[in-house]
A and B are shown apart, each in its own frame.
Chain A
Amino acid sequence: MKYIGKKRLFISLIITFLIVGMFAPLYGASTMFDSIYRSQFSNKKSTVQLSNTTGGGNSNGYINVLLPQGSYDYCKDKENCIILTEKISSDWQNHKIQFQTFGSNQVTIRLSSPKKENSKRIKYPVVVDYQNLKVNNETIFSEPKALWDDEPFEYTLKVHNGETVELEIDIRRHHWTFDEIKDLQHFNPLMLLSVFILAFFFSYQVVQYIAQYKILQHYSRIDIFFLSVFIILLLIPASYMSKEEKSLRENRMLASSPSLFINNTFNTNYTKQFEDWFNDRFRGRKSFISFYKHFTYFLAKNLYSYKDLYFNKKTFWGFSKGEIISRQMTKKERLTFINNVKRLKSFADNYNINLYINVVPTAPCIYPESRFPFSIDCSNIDLIREDFKSNGLSNLLILPYEELKGHTDLVMHKLDPHWSEYGAFIGYQIVMRKIKERYPKLKILSENDFKITHSNLTRTDFDYKPSPGYIFNQLQLSEKVLTAQYKNYEPKNVSLKILKFEPATTITKSKNQNPLKVYMIGNSYMENLFYFMRYSFNDVIKKRMNPPEFSSWEFSRWEKDIIKNKPDILILTTTLSSGDPLKGIFKEDK
């Protein structure tokens, strides 16, 4: 021992362990440490599948709990199938789910873990532990079960039409044992030994080399330490490239590894693609970005901003610069808008459809102070009203503006551009009153038809999942900023059948006193409105104009479908931002 030096040996061993950890894939434990850490200690949430519910036959069993964004395809191509997804953590969490059945049949509740192919980024499979499953207060099992994707637990129960089923379950991320991980990772102890010995030789040599600086050349130990730290830091980002395909936070696909040659020719964009690939996948990217955001958030006194996204730390309003209306519509834009409406009306008249244009004001017009320090120009609201009036189209226009102002409860989401459930409910009533002018027997749902609660989340998008808001997610804000209380609406005693549930199309059927078919086209502001509309009409078809694959209105996308479905009512929902709200709806307007 005295020949090699205790200090040097100690430092060499530390470096050896670091190297052994870095080369874990070589001996089949690529994420062994990571998985142990994540399963035992980390409370970080990740979205996994909680249960898979299938209804048999043609009459459908379904659960009225909706999917988070990014999980559209979980139940793709399977009829009568809805997957519930929940965020799980390493601690037990209790979940209560209530759903109402439509039609008499059986419902299968399938508890499992996410499919392996859906979680490529995680080298070890995400396995979920379940315990205390209760269906309608009857305990099905109580002991913890680790349920794998290919070893699910299934429970089938018979249901009657309109029956409410209550499901209660505790879930957590599976806690791995060392033996489980060893088996899973195809652990190779001989390879580990080889890596360890080689790493020790290498690290001892490096330490010896550094020691020479200190001992033989009398260099500052402080600088030797500084240089060592710098070199380690320099090696970290490139030491592992993430295998994730999509960044949920950024709502985009991550750049894939570029090829130097494409079809035997040199890829001239290789360098650019390489940079994109590296920038998207280097080790520690999320941590560095998170650190940056926390650091800048901490330093910001009033207005925290990042790439045109803003959060006011005093008022707790968050917004993107894109929603600030900074200019009036030009005369040409106004004319195009009116002409588009006229063409739509002509189409609707031809097929005996009642057309309504629902223009939702954006949050800045309802709460101008919320966009401080930006100035707000909402003069387009008056201009549009004037144009509709002068062209004799006032009976088509629904523009809930004054009605949305002056409420104690928030009608707009504070961390999202959309209206809250309460705002949408007010909008719903205005829309219904407008329709009632044509259909006097129309029954309008009131607040008494809903169970109203308050929470700091509100629905914003087509998943109808209470959300902290788009700005909240993008800016990675802390939950502490969710100070607002929103009215949440849960329907009482209503039956609803979802025939189709996709980002671009949702079709619902319900039994109520308004036997009309409604066809709704619109942007995301339509979603919360649809949430109420679907309980009011027998048939509602909702077409979203801007799922990710589309970016603009193109009426031709829905024209044939409208003719085929012969709706009684056609509602177009758009937002009042700068420019023509229906820009590009007909081809020549593009």
Chain B
Amino acid sequence: MLFSSMTFIYVFLPIVCAIYLCVRQGLKNHVLLIASIIFYAWGEPSYLAIMLLTILINYIGANYISRSKKNTHRKEILALTIVLNLSFLFYFKYFNFVVENINGLFKSDIHFIKVIMPIGISFYTFQALSYLIDVYRGEVKVQRNIYKLALYICLFPQLIAGPIVKYRDVDEQISNRDVDFPKVVYGIKRFIIGLSKKMLLANTVGAIADKIFTQPVDQIDLPLSWLGAVSYTLQLYYDFSGYSDMAIGLGYIFGFQFLENFNYPFISKSISEYWRRWHISLGSWFRDYMFLPISRALSLSNSYSWLLQKIGRKKANYVLSFIALFVVWFCMGFWHGAAWTFIVYGLYNGFFIFMEILSGWNKNFKSLKIRFFQHIYTILVFICGLVIFRADTMTYACQYLMTMFGLKTNSVLLYQWLYYIDRIEVIAILTGIICATPVFSKMLYVDEKHKVLRSFINIWLIILFILSTSFIAASTYNPFIYFRF
């Protein structure tokens, strides 16, 4: 079930909210758990078993870890549980990709498996891992109540598209949280904003990107390629941040306070900063559970000591950063999808971050000119990165990037510009660009004394909600196109 569907907004949500608000405190978690299971099972009931198995494995694993006294034993259980978690992810998400590459490399004929990836598996697996590792590290207490752990892993607001909530951030809230009027109102407002981002902006600019990216590169010229890249960047941002807003809003309605997942990434002055503002929960997950442990492990290794002696601390640290960044960004790219384009996308970002560390370009400069160029550089690098992310193959990505920079000029346009962009798309792009900056960041925090402004914002949100609903309703309009010829 998608948040932006009629069934979710007008059937599932009212029923769950009504029951949730009516039942006594002790039953609220159970209501949410049952709702989450129904929510997950709605699309593909058979894959519910995978999620339930993940819950069970992590519950048992974490309990064993917390009870075990021996450190080696704890490590073994941790390793085993992580492997089990990742094995599901590998099987459903990466198996065919690996087989394809093995077949290509060794000319073998290993058969592909016919599986559909369970929705949200990347998100809930990472959530489960964060819980497990935190228990191992002793940063959180083990959850003895399996229903509470199940609620953490499969809580429906963040189940299918994040944010990846760390157990330590919601541990207390699962057991003890309040649902009050301001939270509910704020949650609804966030939900409407997220829904509008998705339906009004992401889908509109996404249609442009889809039209352009589904064409062969030789039918795209330089301006069109930029239009496609910019549209896709905006689509991805509003689609993803819209979902995150909806998840956060729903969280508030049910009394949870999830951490923000996006913080105006397009105002960043470096790629490093960008990744602290874009998909924050994923970035912080990789930082906490991969980058820092790898860096620590490397800094304690003999090789690092040897490097220190040979090339000095500064250079040795660069080498250490390079290795850690390479591993992290390789995995980060791979997490996004089982294709080389995603891996290259990850390494591409890692490369720029490493270069920024080397050059010091990610520092705060006082000069306005430099800061301006920092902004331009960041946006350019990220837009180009998303071309790799969007492309089906690396060949397509390279040719597309060449077109963007005028290195490929022999294009023949199949359609006029009007096919891609009319006034409605122009409005969507401009609105998208303006709203990607913190111009309206305080919109939901207007003080109560500004009654007119507050009223205006509330009316505007209701209009957005009606407008979004009409966009969703229009998607259910499926004329039988009887072409008659």
Contact = CB atoms under 8 A, between A and B. Distances in A.
Q: Do A and B bind each other?
A: yes
A293 B474 contact: yes
A271 interface: yes
B185 A223 contact: yes
Interface in A320-371: 320, 322-323, 326, 362
Contacts of A523: 484-485
Contact of A373 (B418, B455, B467): B418
B445 interface: no
B14 A234 contact: yes
A322 B485 CA distance: 10
A261 interface: no
Contacts of A302: 418, 422-423
Contacts of A234: 9-10, 13-14
Interface string B8-46: 011101100000000000000000000000000111010
B343 to A, nearest CB: 34
A320 B485 contact: no
A373 B419 contact: yes
A289 B477 contact: yes
Nearest to B186: A223
Interface string A503-533: 0000000000000000000011100000000
Interface stretch (A142-150, A170-178, A245-253, A556-564): A245-253
Given A230-B462, A282-B6, A292-B473, A373 B417 contact: yes
Nearest to B454: A222
**Which of A236, A288, A362, A525 counts the most B-chain CB atoms under 10 A from its CB?**
A288
Contacts of B189: 226
B478 A289 contact: no
Interface string A239-277: 000000000011110000000000000001001001100
B185 A226 contact: yes
A523 B417 CA distance: 34
B10 A282 contact: yes
Nearest to B451: A222
A461 B482 CA distance: 12
Given A226-B185, A299-B427, A373-B419, A362 B479 contact: no
Given A230-B465, A238-B10, A271 B480 contact: no
Interface string A269-303: 00100110011101011001101110110011111
B6 A279 contact: yes
Interface string B448-462: 100100110010011
Contact of A577 (B416, B458, B479, B485): B485
Given A222-B458, A292-B470, A274 B7 contact: yes
A233 B188 CA distance: 12
A282 B476 CA distance: 11
Given A233-B466, A362-B485, A375-B415, A225 B458 contact: yes
B202 to A, nearest CB: 16
A37 interface: no
B113 interface: no
Contacts, number: 162
B423 A217 contact: no
B89 to A, nearest CB: 25
A375 B454 contact: no
A549 to B, nearest CB: 11
A536 B9 CA distance: 60
Chain A interface residue count: which class? Answer: 35 or more
A574 B5 CA distance: 41
Contact of A288 (B181, B469, B479): B469
B481 interface: yes
Contacts of B184: 227
Interface string A300-319: 11111011110000000000
A230 B188 contact: yes
A302 B9 CA distance: 33
Contacts of A306: 474, 477
B182 interface: yes
A250 B480 contact: yes
B193 to A, nearest CB: 13
B483 interface: yes
Given A233-B466, A300-B423, A375-B414, A288 B474 contact: yes
A213 interface: yes
A372 interface: yes
B419 to A, nearest CB: 4
A253 B273 CA distance: 53
Contacts of B43: 271
A372 B418 contact: yes
A417 interface: yes
Interface in B210-242: none
A238 B11 contact: yes
B476 A285 contact: yes
B458 A278 contact: no
**Which of A279, A293, A306 counts the most B-chain CB atoms under 10 A from its CB?**
A279
Contacts of B105: none
Nearest to A323: B483
B419 A374 contact: yes
A302 B423 CA distance: 8
B250 to A, nearest CB: 13
A306 B184 CA distance: 36
**Which of B182, B424, B467, B484 counts the most A-chain CB atoms under 10 A from its CB?**
B484
B299 to A, nearest CB: 51
A373 B414 CA distance: 9
Nearest to B484: A524
B471 interface: yes
26 contacts: A213-B181, A226-B185, A226-B458, A226-B461, A227-B184, A230-B462, A233-B465, A234-B9, A235-B14, A237-B6, A238-B14, A278-B7, A280-B476, A282-B6, A282-B10, A289-B473, A291-B470, A293-B474, A295-B467, A303-B418, A307-B479, A323-B483, A373-B417, A524-B484, A524-B485, A574-B485
List 4 A-B pairs, minimum CB-CB distance, nearest first. A373-B416, A288-B473, A524-B484, A301-B423
Interface of B: 1, 5-7, 9-11, 13-14, 41-43, 45, 181-182, 184-185, 188-189, 192, 414-419, 422-424, 427, 448, 451, 454-455, 458, 461-462, 465-467, 469-471, 473-474, 476-485
